[in-house]
Every structure is written in C-alpha cells, then in structure tokens.
Amino acid sequence: MTPELHNSRFMRAARREPVDTTPIWIMRQAGRYLPEYMQVRSKVTFLELCKRPDLAAEVTLTAREVLGVDAAILFADLLPILEPMGLDLEYAKGEGPIIHNPIRTASDVDRLREVENIEELGFVFEAVRLIRRDLPGDIPLLGFAGAPFTLASYVIEGGGSRHFIHTKTMMYNDISAWTSLMQRLTNSLVRYLREQIDAGCQAVQIFDSWAGCLTPADYRDYVLPHTRALIEGLPTNVPVIHFMTGNPALLSLQREAGGNVMGLDWRVDLAEGWKTVGDDVAVQGNLDPMVLYAGLETIRDRARDVLDAAAGRPGHIFNLGHGVTPDLNPDHVKALVEMVHEMGSGKTSR
C-alpha cells in the first residue's frame, strides 16, 4: 500500500488514528438513486452489470467522484459467488434475487461445491484492478462479501425471506448439514475476499444483513464460529468492517466474532452501540437512511447527532445504517457528505 493510501482519512479512522475530519462513504453509493448509475444500468441487466468489469468500474468510480466520499466500494452483489458453487441464480424484474435450486436437505448440501477455481469470479477481480487503476491515490477501495449466515439464508430460502423458516429449520433439525453448508460458504468466502484484496482492495466489508432475525443464543451457537473463521482467514493487515443489521442485542457477539470496524445500523444510538462493542474497536454508521427524505436542515441536525454521539473520538467512519433506497434525491446524499466533512471530528466548531 502506498503511504498516501495508508494515511488516507478512511484508513486512519479504521485504525482509530486521529483524522482531519470524519470520513464518510455510503452503503450502496453506486445505486439506482443516482442518474449516472441509471444511465449505465439502462443498457444491461443487473447481473450483466456485475459481470462487466468495465461497467462495474465505471459506476464505482463515478459514484465515488460525484459524491466526494472518502472510499469507493466495488460495485458487485452478494450472490454471484453462489454460481460457481452450483446454484442457479436469477434477478427477476422487481422481485429481487431467486435461486432456482435452493438447498434444503443434507444431500442438497453435499452437492454444493466450494469455490475452487476462483477465476470463475474473475470479472470481480478485473473490476477491482480497473477501479484501483483510476481511483485517486488517497481513496481506498473497499471489497465486500456476504457473511456466511446471510448467504446461507439466501441459499436455503431460495431468495429473500421474512421469517427464515427453512433456514432455521435446517439449523435446528440438522446441525451437521447446517455446519457443512456454513463451512463450504466460509471457505469460499475466504478465497473470494483474499482475491479481492490481492487484486487491489485496501479494506473489506462483510454484510450480515439478515443475522438480526436470530436470538443471541442462536447467533452465538450457529453463526458466530463461522463468521469468526471467515475473518480469521483474511490477512491481518487489511481492515475488516463487520456490518450487521436488525438486532442491537447482537452487538457484543458481533464484536466477539471479529472485525476492526463494527458497522452499526440506525436502530441503536451510536454512543450506546460503541459502548457495547467496546472502545478498542472502530465503528461505522449509523444515520437512518430515511432521514435523507427529510429537508436539508433536518438532515444536518441528524448528521450532527451522529457525530456528537461519536464525540470526536478517533475511529468513527460515517455511513448510513443501511443502503440508500432507489428513489432518494441524490442531492441530499451529496449534501450529507459535505455536512459530515464540514462538521466532522477534526473541526473545532460545529
């Protein structure tokens, strides 16, 4: 890593070092709310966009530049890693992802392959190389992947879910199939994220988007060991952001599972959340994305509340508590970035 990248605002904050002002990036910053994204997206399907390194690079770089955020995040999706594992993935119009051959039984698990030849996902690493080549020298590039539980729930339910009936049924009724599935996913994820890092990512985020449906005891017994194995499988000099949503009662276990930066959703006050995960770790978050539907004055007030909760302590990366929604006004996102930079921790007055 160049000294310029090493000393960038984002990387310093991830290491809990003082910064000139609070770094910010936005989950799903290259997304449908952005006209520049829609222009590219209108020419191809979502899955094609994920698999075209030139276009994935273009939307990644454009979003970073248009917003003026402190990190770029690879444009990709959580699920294409499942294709080389033998799953039949489709993004149906207006429906979200569908897996046509979901995993429900022990023998289903047996037919699931670990990703052995990582080059089957070469389009991702090529996008990383293209993005890194054209990014400013002080802007880190984030890679990412789904956490084992979140991927398992897609694989078992065959898509999104409300109650996670099949997932929990396998977890409770067939611990050996469950463990085997989680291990296959974890091993594949370790290879996938290592390769993203080798291709040029300076940090990675693990999205456990659905873990909030679990009791603390179930998270601890069925999920935590696998997330920990994933994080321990990654190089120790690359910061890992461990993001979870939907259940503040899991925060101390989220920390226990590992990561250098704890990604918080908006359900918890950031000061409380930071206290729970511990002062010896960085935090990322946690403005309610819906605040961006409010007027600029309210956005400023709420952004200040989040900054105040961080109290200027080193180790805060500003973000939303979840991804941007499609019909949001992009000017509000740009305004938020400016406000955070203006009011951020390095400045004397707010």
Q: Say whether residue 249 binds a second copy (CB under 8 A).
A: yes
Shortest separation between residue 276's beta carbon and a second copy, angstroms:
9
Q: Residues 4, 7, 45, 172: which binds a second copy (CB under 8 A)?
A: 172
Listed residue (84, 91, 157, 163) closest to 124, CA to CA: 84
Beta carbon nearer to a second copy, 60 or 245? 245
What is the x/- site pattern for a second copy, positions 111-130, by CB under 8 A? --------------------
What separation in angstroms does the CA of 140 have from each of 108, 209, 280, 319?
39, 23, 23, 15
Shortest separation between residue 180's beta carbon and a second copy, angstroms:
19
Q: Say whether residue 179 binds a second copy (CB under 8 A).
A: no
Q: Say whether residue 269 binds a second copy (CB under 8 A).
A: yes
Listed residue (61, 203, 224) closest to 142, CA to CA: 203
Q: Residues 298, 308, 311, 346: which binds a second copy (CB under 8 A)?
A: 298
Beta carbon nearer to a second copy, 109 or 268? 268
Beta carbon nearer to a second copy, 83 or 288? 288
Q: Residues 31, 80, 146, 248: which binds a second copy (CB under 8 A)?
A: 248
Q: Say whether residue 256 binds a second copy (CB under 8 A).
A: no
Q: Say whether residue 94 binds a second copy (CB under 8 A).
A: no
Scan residues 275-294 and list those touching a second copy (CB under 8 A).
Answer: 288-291, 293-294
Looking only at the bridges linking them, the beta strands covering 96-99 and 89-92 are antiparallel
**Active-site residues: which are they?**
28, 32, 41, 77, 154
Sole window of 18-26, 181-189, 244-252, 332-340 interacting with a second copy (rule: CB under 8 A): 244-252
Beta carbon nearer to a second copy, 97 or 200? 97
Q: Say whether residue 44 binds a second copy (CB under 8 A).
A: no
Q: Say whether residue 183 binds a second copy (CB under 8 A).
A: no
Scan residues 132-171 and list those touching a second copy (CB under 8 A).
Answer: 163-165, 168-169
Shortest separation between residue 289's beta carbon and a second copy, angstroms:
8
Chain CA centroid to CA 112, Å: 24
Residue type, 219: Y
Shortest separation between residue 52's beta carbon and a second copy, angstroms:
29
Structure token pair of residue 130 = 């293209």
Scan residues 317-346 and list those touching a second copy (CB under 8 A).
Answer: 325, 327
SS (H, E, C) the chain: CCHHHHCCHHHHHHCCCCCCCCCECCCCCCCCCCHHHHHHHCCCCHHHHHHCHHHHHHHHHHHHHHHCCCCEECCCCCCHHHHHHCCCEEEECCCEEEECCCCCCHHHHHHCCCCCCHHHHHHHHHHHHHHHHHCCCCCCEEEEEECHHHHHHHHHHCECCCCCHHHHHHHHHCHHHHHHHHHHHHHHHHHHHHHHHHHCCCEEEEEECCHHHCCHHHHHHHHHHHHHHHHHCCCCCCCEEEEECCCHHHHHHHHHHCCCEEECCCCCCHHHHHHHHCCCCEEEEEECHHHHHCCHHHHHHHHHHHHHHHCCCCCEEEEECCCCCCCCCHHHHHHHHHHHHHHCCCCCCC
What is the x/- site pattern for a second copy, positions 190-229, by CB under 8 A? ----------------------xxxxxxx-----------
Beta carbon nearer to a second copy, 93 or 163? 163
Q: Residues 21, 188, 196, 247: which binds a second copy (CB under 8 A)?
A: 247
Beta carbon nearer to a second copy, 197 or 291? 291
Q: Which positions lie near a second copy, rule CB under 8 A? A: 163-165, 168-169, 172-173, 212-218, 246-250, 266-269, 272, 288-291, 293-295, 298, 305, 325, 327
